[in-house]
């Protein structure tokens, strides 16, 4: 019995966890990781939720402490050889024993969220890939309140991994370094959008009407925030990123705005193709989606009609010798 032998289990697991997180020898870290997660795979099914909580807080979470709580982390040997495999093994064990661990979903997603929003791209990509793994392996077993937790954490991920602010763009470091951060953040954001699209397509019928609308609000607000930044001009960011970098930055923001809209639309179509058993709830969601779709279509038409007028005005000014400045997104 797992809990009955807690005094025996905990020192063993703690010792293995410390080796995985701190030992400088990669071979020993790998062996310790194999043994640690082997024990959890074999015996974790007999652990209560209380014991799993102790294991998370005292053994598993501390493995990633140094990475999670440091702002700038270089690509160390530990990141290259241990971080990804350890996180993957942890997520797999969590999913394997989901009947016992599901009460810790918020704790596990919180760890993954801290990775996703990390400044180091390797750590961020590790976080996104493990959120995907979690939803792929355990999504079918998530209940409506679990999906509410997923939505809360996804909002935090999007909020904290948005396009770099003006302060971040003009911060310390070289132009090349700032542009590298912009590109890394963009790649992670695009991975998040793809994750949301796949999640909605696979699990729309399980998420529930209330959470469906919450996810749509998340995607809508994300689309608005990225679109707002896309109306800056190249000159606004030229000093921070250089002429070419500023142009690349705005192109990436355009791409994120388009991907947010694409994710929102795909979510809507997923819901339509996966109606709920409760006809009344399905009808309520359908009405909300139809209204939202019409509003979004009108918004896009108005936006680009306005851009068309602005471009024609700029063209007339340029042809008459008045000059033109600013920047508008491509059609």
DSSP per-residue string spanning 33-74: HHHHHHHHHHHGGG--HHHHHHHIIIIIGGGGHHHHT-SS--
Read off the tokens for 190.
């695009």
Q: 248 versus 71: which is more confidently predicted?
A: 248
Least confident of 149-153, 190-194, 220-224: 220-224
Please say if the pLDDT value at position 206 is more than 90: no
Q: Which of 6-15, 263-272, 320-329 has the lowest mean pLDDT?
A: 320-329
Is the pLDDT confidence value at 230 over 90? no
Q: pLDDT averaged over the chain?
A: 79
Q: Which residue has the higher pLDDT, 232 or 319?
A: 319
Count of C-beta atoms within a 10 Å radius of residue 218? 22
The Cβ of residue 189 has, within 10 Å, a number of other Cβ atoms equal to 26
For residue range 49-100, list pLDDT tens digits in order. 888 999 999 999 999 988 887 666 665 788 889 999 999 999 999 999 999 9
**Under 8 Å between Cβ of 324 and 306:** no
- CA dihedral sign, ordered 273, 256, 165, 128: positive
Residues 6+ apart with CB under 8 A from 97: 40, 44, 45, 47, 52
This prediction has a pTM of: 0.77
Helix (H) or strand (E) holding 250: helix 234-273
What would the mean pLDDT of 116-144 be, rounded to a whole number? 91
Q: Do the Cβ atoms of 13 and 39 come closer than 8 Å?
A: yes
Q: Which comes out higher in pLDDT, residue 35 or 251?
A: 35
Mean pLDDT of 275-295: 65
């Amino acid at each position: 019995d797992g809990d009955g032998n807690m005094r025996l289990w905990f020192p063993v697991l703690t010792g293995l966890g410390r080796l995985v997180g701190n030992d400088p020898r990669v071979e020993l870290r790998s062996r310790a990781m194999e043994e640690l997660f082997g024990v959890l795979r074999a015996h974790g099914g007999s652990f209560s939720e209380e014991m799993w909580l102790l294991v998370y807080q005292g053994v598993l979470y501390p493995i990633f402490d140094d990475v999670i709580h440091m702002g700038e982390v270089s690509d160390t040997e530990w990141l290259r050889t241990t971080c990804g495999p350890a996180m993957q093994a942890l997520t797999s064990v969590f999913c394997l024993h989901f009947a016992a661990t599901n009460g810790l979903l918020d704790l596990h997603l919180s760890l993954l969220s801290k990775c996703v929003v990390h400044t180091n791209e390797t750590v961020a990509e590790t976080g996104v890939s493990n959120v995907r793994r979690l939803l792929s392996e355990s999504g079918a077993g998530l209940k409506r309140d679990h999906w509410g937790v997923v939505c809360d954490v996804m909002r935090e991920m999007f909020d904290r991994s948005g396009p770099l602010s003006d302060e971040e763009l003009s911060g310390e470091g070289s132009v090349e370094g700032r542009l590298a951060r912009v590109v890394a953040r963009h790649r992670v954001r695009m991975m998040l959008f793809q994750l949301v699209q796949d999640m909605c397509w696979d699990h729309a019928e399980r998420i529930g009407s209330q959470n469906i609308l919450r996810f749509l609000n998340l995607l809508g607000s994300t689309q608005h925030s990225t679109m707002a930044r896309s109306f800056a001009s190249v000159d606004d960011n030229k000093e921070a990123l250089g002429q070419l970098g500023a142009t690349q930055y705005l192109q990436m923001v355009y791409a994120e705005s388009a991907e947010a809209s694409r994710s929102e639309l795909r979510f809507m179509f997923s819901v339509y193709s996966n109606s709920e058993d409760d006809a009344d709830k399905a009808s309520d969601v359908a009405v909300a989606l139809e209204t939202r779709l019409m509003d979004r279509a009108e918004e896009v038409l108005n936006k680009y009609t306005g851009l068309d007028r602005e471009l024609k005005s700029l063209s007339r000014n340029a042809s008459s010798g008045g000059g033109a400045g600013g920047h508008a997104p491509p059609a």
